[in-house]
Chain A
Amino acid sequence: MSWSLFLPYLAVMAVVTYLIRMLPLTVFRKDIRSRFARSFLRYIPYAVLGAMTFPDVLYSTGDMRTAAVGVAVAVLLAWRRKSLVTVALAACCAVAAAQAILLLM
């Protein structure tokens, strides 16, 4: 990607992300009073990650069948509270295994 297109994106991303992290720690040092606002902020990460994961994960391996196997394994392990790295690597291994099986069939 050309640098003249890339650098403005990089600057916007870095500045926005930094300000979100920095301002609440430095400027607004008092608690949020609104119960709705506090709840809303607390639920945002789960909503973001949910919307980012589905349906995109099904297209992440180029074959929905292998992706489905990876998702199934990841869901099972994540549900059992395995660590981030364990779940991520197990999903990759499951996709690799599914690819191998499809090749053999």
Chain B
Amino acid sequence: MKGYFSHGLRHGIPIGLGYLSVSFAFGMKAVGDGLTWLQAVLISMTNLTSAGQIAALPLMIGGASLTEMALTQLTINLRYALMGLSLGPKLDQSMKTLQRMIFAFADTDEIFAVASSQPGKIGKSYLYGLMVMPWIGWVLGTLLGGVAGTLLPAFVRTALGIAIYGMFLAIILPPAREKKPVRFVVAVAVALSLFFRYIPGLNRVSGGFVIIICAVLAAAAGAALYPAEEGNT
């Protein structure tokens, strides 16, 4: 078990580097939208989630209700609940309730993916090590983007605006290519999202609720048509 913390630390480095570039774009966007760099950094320090943080910006700027904020975060981040349920049985005896509560803070998509791909049971030393670099990368990138983003030339800033969406596409397209149900769910969600943007009347629904409605309807349609097989996460 000795050196297990450093083992996790090392596994976190590529995740941290990836987060650095994406959170740079988040920090820049947040400051561009009217937050201070410190506010952007505080969001990243306490949330550690790309999609939820991006979705929060227009809600804050638009003065959305706290209920809408809570429901939006709940829907967008609901996937973490599934990951938690899936990762639970893989944790060893060292992961008691307190340790689980500490690790839960950093259970992101990428940390979950790395942790669950480890052979056998995993314990607190490895998981604590794994949390470190992604958190530092996410916070540092936000700081750099928030502080230095506005110093960049305009054409670089606008080009970076697409970075986060590039990451989203890199997450959804490979499984969509392989699995018909995923393809179906993504197509339905995108179609609904387009309806809500361009159809008069529907386009008055606020952004946070649009994501909730699209995601819940598309995932429910997918679950009804293509119920997933046992144990295949």
Chain A interface residues toward B at CB < 8 A: 1, 3, 5-6, 8-10, 12-14, 16-18, 20-26, 28-29, 31-32, 35-57, 60-63, 66-67, 70-71, 74-75, 77-79, 81-93, 95-96, 99-100
Cβ 8 A contact of B210, one of A51, A67, A93:
A51
Is B168 in contact with A53, judged by CB distance below 8 angstroms?
yes
Q: Which of B17, B56, B78, B162 contacts A57 (CB 8 A)?
A: B162
Contacts of A57 in B (CB 8 A): 162, 165
On whether the beta carbons of B34 and A1 are closer than 8 Å, the reply is yes
- One of B4-12, B81-89, B142-150 contacting the partner: B81-89
**Residues of B that sit less than 8 Å from A by CB:** 17-18, 21-22, 25, 34-36, 39, 42-43, 46-49, 51-56, 59-61, 63, 66, 69-70, 73-85, 87-88, 91, 97, 100-101, 103-105, 107, 109, 155-156, 158-177, 181-182, 185-190, 192-194, 197-198, 210-211, 214-216, 218-220, 222-224, 226-228, 233
Partner of B218, one of A47, A85, A86: A47
With contacts A41-B78, A43-B185, A74-B166 taken as known, whether A49 is within 8 angstroms of B171 at the C-beta atoms is yes
A-B contact pairs, 8 of them (CB 8 A): A42-B82, A45-B171, A48-B215, A51-B218, A55-B198, A88-B166, A91-B166, A95-B161
A90 CB contact (under 8 Å) in B77, B101, B166: B166
Q: How many angstroms from the CA of A34 to the CA of B25 in the assembled complex?
A: 39
Alpha-carbon gap, A63 to B197, bound state (A): 17
**Known interface pairs A13-B56, A24-B88. Does A95 touch B162 (Cβ–Cβ under 8 Å)?**
yes
Residues of A contacting B226 in the complex (Cβ-Cβ under 8 angstroms) = 39
Closest Cβ of chain A to B145, distance in Å, is: 13
What is the predominant secondary structure among interface residues of chain A facing chain B? helix
Distance to closest chain A CB from B30 (angstroms):
9
What 19 additional pairs, Cβ within 8 angstroms, besides A50-B189, A61-B159? A13-B56, A13-B73, A20-B81, A21-B107, A23-B81, A25-B87, A26-B97, A39-B228, A40-B220, A46-B182, A46-B219, A47-B215, A50-B185, A50-B193, A51-B192, A54-B190, A70-B166, A74-B165, A88-B25
Pairwise interchain contact B101-A22, C-beta atoms closer than 8 A: yes
A49 to B182, CA, bound (A): 12
Contact A48 B22 (CB under 8 A): no
Q: Assuming the A-B contacts A12-B66, A51-B218, are A17 and B194 also in contact, with contact meaning beta carbons closer than 8 angstroms in the complex? A: no
Contact yes or no, A43 B227, CB < 8 A: no
Q: Bound complex: CA of A53 vs CA of B215, how far in Å?
A: 12
Tell me if A74 and B169 are in contact (CB < 8 A): yes
